[in-house]
Amino acid sequence: MDDSWTRGPVVLVGASGQVGGALQRRLDDLPLEVRPIGRGDDLTHATRDADTLIHLAGAIAPRRPNTFEKANVGTTRAVLRAVQGSSVRRVVFLSFPGASPTSPNTFLRTKGEAEEMLAATGVPTTIFRCDHIIGPPSEPGPTATAFLTRGDHAVAVLGTGRQRWTPVLREDVVEAVLHAALEPATPAGTFDLAGPDAVTVDELVDRVNGREVRKRHLHGAAAHVIAALLPSLHASTVEIMAADWVLDGGPTASAFGITRHGLDTLWPRVGAPTSPSAPARPTTRTPESTTAADTN
């Protein structure tokens, strides 16, 4: 931790999410006070004398009775109220590529509305529009977990499987947020955050399983029928998961002084030799939807 970095209290909204949990562990190793905010906690009180607020709350597939508006706009409205009149000097927010208050996609629209609300605070705000986030094998996160097979069962994949992403490793997101939150010299504004590898979703499915697995592709009318039948899936989520998301994250990495790591670091190509010290892959899946992922 550089001597110039912020050492005042840091408020962490969304500490229980995929990025939030890892970020809190990283922050706990530093000589500063971390204030994780959970549901029901007094955000305004925690923020009053804080230096930095990190806003990670949100969802790409909210489960009822939660909604996109509650998850993405409602949480941001609470952040807005808390920041007003506080000592906060920097806000960091995780968003998604394509976020816009005019988007026909509900997820992207609510993320865009959240971005605009934060920009209106007048507090310097750094927004990372992250491609799909992939955790390590020990904690793969919702997206990778949704791609794990059960035995020889086919993995349900929204889209053709040929759509290409530039997924970003969770620890790289943590480092980007850490620098944006604590290093005064880092810029405010909106930045694309992505990994260095462009892969098809089918390739990503095989990587997280460590072998080629059978896939059941749901696209077109079939995907939207599934979305209408499953309470955990939304038409907006279907559109996001089935689309191409190929970003150039190099300029962001340079601006924030971080190193992006390729998928091979944790998820080698199928058929590639595996290091004896490589972490074990998960063999079971958590009770998550097989076709949805949270942003955090």
Domain ranges of the chain: 10-265
Per-residue model confidence (pLDDT) at position 227: 59
Higher model confidence: residue 130 or residue 286?
130
Per-residue model confidence (pLDDT) at position 231: 59
For the residues 34-40, what does the mean pLDDT come to? Answer: 90
> Does the pLDDT value for residue 172 go beyond 60?
yes
> Does the pLDDT value for residue 40 go beyond 50?
yes
Higher model confidence: residue 287 or residue 271?
271
For the residues 265-283, what does the mean pLDDT come to? Answer: 65
For the residues 87-102, what does the mean pLDDT come to? Answer: 97
pLDDT-derived band at 228, boundaries 50, 70, 90: low
Q: What is the pTM of this model?
A: 0.89
- % of the chain exceeding 90 in pLDDT: 77
> Does the pLDDT value for residue 285 go beyond 80?
no
Per-residue model confidence (pLDDT) at position 293: 36
Per-residue model confidence (pLDDT) at position 288: 33
> Does the pLDDT value for residue 151 go beyond 90?
no
- The backbone torsions φ and ψ at residue 109, rounded to the nearest 5 degrees and listed phi first, read -65, -45
Q: Tell me which CATH homologous superfamily contains domain 10-265.
A: NAD(P)-binding Rossmann-like Domain (3.40.50.720)
pLDDT-derived band at 291, boundaries 50, 70, 90: very low
pLDDT-derived band at 232, boundaries 50, 70, 90: low
Q: Mean pLDDT highest for which of 36-40, 162-166, 270-274?
A: 162-166
Q: What is the mean pLDDT of the chain?
A: 89
Give the tens place of pLDDT for each residue, 128-142: 999 999 999 999 999
pLDDT-derived band at 289, boundaries 50, 70, 90: very low
> Does the pLDDT value for residue 274 go beyond 70?
no
For the residues 108-127, what does the mean pLDDT come to? Answer: 96
> Does the pLDDT value for residue 279 go beyond 80?
no
